[in-house]
Amino acid sequence: MTELVRVAAVTRRFGDQVAVDDVSLSVESGEIVGLLGANGAGKTTLIRMLLGLTATDAGELRLLGEAPSRSTRRRVGYVAQGLGLYDDLTVRENLAFAASAYGHPTPPVPADLVPVADTLVGAIGLGRQRRLAFTVALAHSPALLVLDEPTSGVDPLARARLWDRVHARADAGVGVLVTTHYMSEAQQCDRLVLMSRGRVVATGSEAEITASTTAVAVDAASWQEAFTVLDGAGLPVMLAGRSVRVAAVPRERVEAVLRDAGLDARVRDVAATLEEVMVALDTDRVRVA
């Protein structure tokens, strides 16, 4: 495997705000690395630095073995949050424009987009726009795909189809760095990098990250009251249906809070989900701050 991306202790500040704080990660050929975190975690800023679109304040970036530049970007397929399409051009015209920018022949319009090939992109709907953005990103056979929340706002079936395309490229040896705030998409990745408030808080596979954290499920007659009491005690509380769950907190602590509030509830240890790990890590950072 070949290292396509190396980010070493990179930092970026905007005034007094540290958007990316001492972050390191790597991406190798044929692997899918998921960069996960809530909105504002620093994912997009990191992507923009990697592509050379935003300067770094500290650290080192290597893209395809070189410092990020216009030359290295020509070997990258990039789907930005805003998709990078032109609403006032048709589907066919967007493909032609992107191909000319990369100096490649215009690719054929995908079969599922043929019915709207001569329709302005602004009028074809988000799902089709995202399929077009993927086609544009793949047309020049990139060595690396950088996808910034590529499935945001599309239905589950369209999301699954887009992920099929990502896996097909990775199977062909393309490296993939994908950002998302959908925890369910973590299972699509070979390796995860979790970010919170600009910093990396965990790395590894989903199983490796969740193995270090436990959770407690609380079943109470009034789940609303249980949630309010636990949240008021500063615990990282979440809901799964009508079951209240608390991650990274000993069961005895949860029982004590409920007992002190006079609430009768069944409390049991359960495996933590990735989303619960994220909430617990984020809560710990808030406490430290």
Q: What are phi and psi of 262, to 5 degrees?
A: 75, 25
Q: Angle formed by the axes of helices 91-102 and 126-138, to 10°?
A: 20
Domain-located, residue 204: yes
Residues 267 and 149 in one domain: no
pLDDT class for 287, splitting at 50, 70, 90? very low
Q: Is the pLDDT of residue 12 over 50?
A: yes
Domain-located, residue 288: no
At 284 the pLDDT is 52
pLDDT in tens, 30-79: 999 999 887 888 998 999 999 988 999 999 999 998 998 888 888 999 88
One-letter amino acid of 246: V
220 bridge partner residues? 265
Structural domain count of the chain: 2
What radius of gyration do the chain's Cα atoms show? 22
**DSSP reduced 3-state for 23:** strand
Average pLDDT, the chain: 87
DSSP letters, 190-251, are SEEEEEETTEEEEEE-HHHHHHT-EEEEEEES-HHHHHHHHHHTT--EEEETTEEEEESS-H
Residues 166 and 140 in one domain: yes
Residue ranges making up the domain that contains 256: 214-271
Residues 86 and 114 in one domain: yes
Which CATH number do you get for residue 140? 3.40.50.300
In Å, what is the CA distance from 59 to each residue of 12, 45, 76, 108, 174? Answer: 9, 14, 21, 41, 25
Q: What is the mean pLDDT of residues 256-278?
A: 87
Q: What is the mean pLDDT of residues 244-260?
A: 90
Q: Where are the alpha helices (DSSP H) in the chain?
A: 43-50, 70-73, 91-102, 126-138, 156-171, 206-211, 223-232, 251-260, 274-288
pLDDT class for 283, splitting at 50, 70, 90? low
Residues 197 and 257 in one domain: no
One-letter amino acid of 85: L
At 200 the pLDDT is 93
Residues 248 and 126 in one domain: no
Domain-located, residue 283: no
